[in-house]
Every structure is written in C-alpha cells, then in structure tokens.
Amino acid sequence: MTTLFDSYRLGGLSLPNRVVMAPMTRVRAAAGGLATPSMAAYYAQRATAGLIVSEGVQPSLIGQSNPGTPGLHTDEQTESWRQVTAAVHINGGRIFAQIMHGGRVSHPDTIGTRPVGPSAVPAVGDVFTPAGPQPAPVPRALDTAEVPEHARAYADAARRAVAAGFDGVELHGANGYLISQFLSSNANLRTDRYGGSVAGRIRFAVEAAAATVDAVGGARTGIRLSPGGGIWGVTETDVPELYAALLSELAPLGLAYVHLEATTGEEVLTGLRRAWPGTLIMNPMSPLESRRTGPADADHWLRLGADLISFGRAFIANPDLVERLRAGLPLAEVDDAAYYQGGDAGYLTYPAYQYTA
C-alpha cells in the first residue's frame, strides 16, 4: 500500500515523501508586499515536506485580498522572494508559489480602488482591511475586454515566481477568490462568453491556466479547487458537471497537479479523481472545518487514489510534521490567536519535537 513516506515524481521534481504543506495566509509580508527574512526562516523550517505551497501571493495590486500579504508583480517583490526560495532549497526542500487574485474579496482601503469581480455582487461577510474587518464592498464588474488581462496576470506572476527561484506555481482557483468567483453561479451573473453555461463559467479558469502553462510550462503549473465550497458566499450549481468539465479542459495542458479540498461529498471527489488523469493532491479538510488533518485522513485518501496529501494547520505548530507523522509522535497545538497577528511569535517560535531520555 502507498504510504505518506513513499517518494513521488512530480514533473521534474523528485519528492522524498507525499506530504504537502498547504498554502496558508500568515500576513507577515513587509510594506510593499515584500517577502522577509522571517518568511524565509518559516518556510525553511518546514522544508522536509515533499512539497511546500506558499501562502497566497497577489499577481497585481488590484488582486490583493488582505493587508500584509506578499506580491509578485514588481521587481522588488520578485527579488525579495529569492531569500525564501534559497532557504528552502538549501534545506533540501521544494516550493511552489500560490498565485491568488482576490477579486471581489478585497476593499478599497486595502488596494486603493474598487475591487473587481465577474459581476457587481459582493462577497458575503466582512473582509480584512488596514482598519480592521469591514463589510465586503460591491465589486466593479469586469468588462469582457478586461477579463483576459486578469487571466494573464497569473502567468505574469508565474514568470516572476520562476525568476525568483520557485519550482513552480499553484493557481488559487478555490475558496471564493477570483477564479472561484467565475466558476460560481451566484457571483458570476454574466451573459457574455465568461458566464451562463458551464462552458462559460469555466472559461476564465482554463484561460488563466493555459496562459500560465505558456509562460512557465505545465510541469511547473498546478491549480487548487474547492468544489461546492460555499466560501465567501460563493454558490456553484451542478458541481459534478462543472468540475468534470473543468478537468476535461485542463487535462490537455499537462498540469503538474490538481489540488482538491474536501469541500463536497466523497462520491463527487472520487469521481473527480477518476476523471483527472494526472497527479492529484488531496486536502482532506475543508477550510471551514476546525479540526486538522491527521494520519488516518491521509491514509484514507491515499487508498481512494490521491497521490499526495496536503496538511494545513498541522504544519503551523509542527515545523517537523513529516518526522512526527513518520515516528507517530504527538502533534503540538496551534495558537489560533497568532495566525494573523504579525511578528515572529506564533510563526517562528514553534520548536521541533523535544525527545527526552
């Protein structure tokens, strides 16, 4: 039986195990969206993962969702990431940058202008701003002629990511952000070629992925999806049909992987596993669940055909998560209050397991 500790070939990368560090927002970037030495240390501490997927990185200023997040759309930002990728590689790791366009999940106080989305429909809930949580604003609906520019933004950021030393990129197509908004049947009310039918609703995701593959190659391009996730008020009709059609259009691009979250029923997810001919990363937990992924969850999805398993919250408090899982050691508990507080406390201060005589 396949285990978490078997090696795996992912595109041009040889992964020593099948444990993936999932992307998690930590809002520790410096002013101007720059990566920092602390971020380099944070990812280096976790370099024993088979693959690290970074926190969401905005591909443009208008694509920024939260304050304090890093970017990949200026030369200075690109240069700042070199310390991160070098630290991971020196410590034997591999790292993809997650490219995340927030779309309507943003605020003028954060980006200096009105956020954009497929339609003028606000997200559900409060968004983070420099002044604290505020109600999500009504976004400006993108004109048809503008949409390709935002699809290309993923590719532009991917070029910068590879130039900064990342091994590849993951397009954030999940959790109610821009790609997810286009897939939606309530955030996307368009009547042009980017809306309406299943073929219209998947078009933006396919164009963003195709542009990125053209820019950096399929072996360096993955995508994360949350079928039926319902996050930020996004609703999707016909989830099995929608995602089967999307995977069918993505398959010829030769992507490195598809990264699914367990945001819908297991029957649907296993159907998508059968439909996807390439590598599948499975995250056994929905972002809306409070518990963390454990070894039993990982083994379950490996038996169901997943190739790699991503762990989120467990990696925050356990930088040596792979060794703890391998040796059956207890996992440390995370301090939820430190997720977004900034600084090194609750970021670099979780130690490796301390053995006692």
CA trace torsion 306, 309, 313, 314 (10° rounding): 130
190: nearest Cα among 241, 142, 155: 142
> What is the rounded CA–CA span in Å between residue 151 and residue 130?
27
Q: Encoding tokens for residue 180? A: 């997810």
Q: What count of other Cβ atoms lies within 10 Å of the Cβ of residue 309?
A: 26
Angstrom CA distances, 250 to 206, 209, 256, stand at 6, 8, 11
- Both tokens of 182, joined, read 């286009």
Residue 98 token pair: 């997650």
Side-chain-facing half-sphere of 128: CA atoms under 13 Å: 12
Query: Is residue 177 flagged as an active site residue?
Result: yes
Nearest to 255 by CA among 307, 322, 313, 195: 307
Q: Is there a contact between 280 and 273 (Cβ–Cβ < 8 Å)?
A: yes
Cα–Cα distance, 311 to 328 (Å, whole number): 16
d(CA 277, CA 354): 42
Beta strand 8-10 with 13-15: parallel, antiparallel or unpaired?
antiparallel
Of 285, 308, 286, 289, the closest CA to residue 297 belongs to 285
Please identify which of the residues 154, 177, 347, 350 carries the catalytic annotation: 177
249 in Cβ contact with 200 (< 8 Å): no
Instruction: Read off the DSSP letter of residue 12.
Output: T
> Catalytic residues, which ones?
177
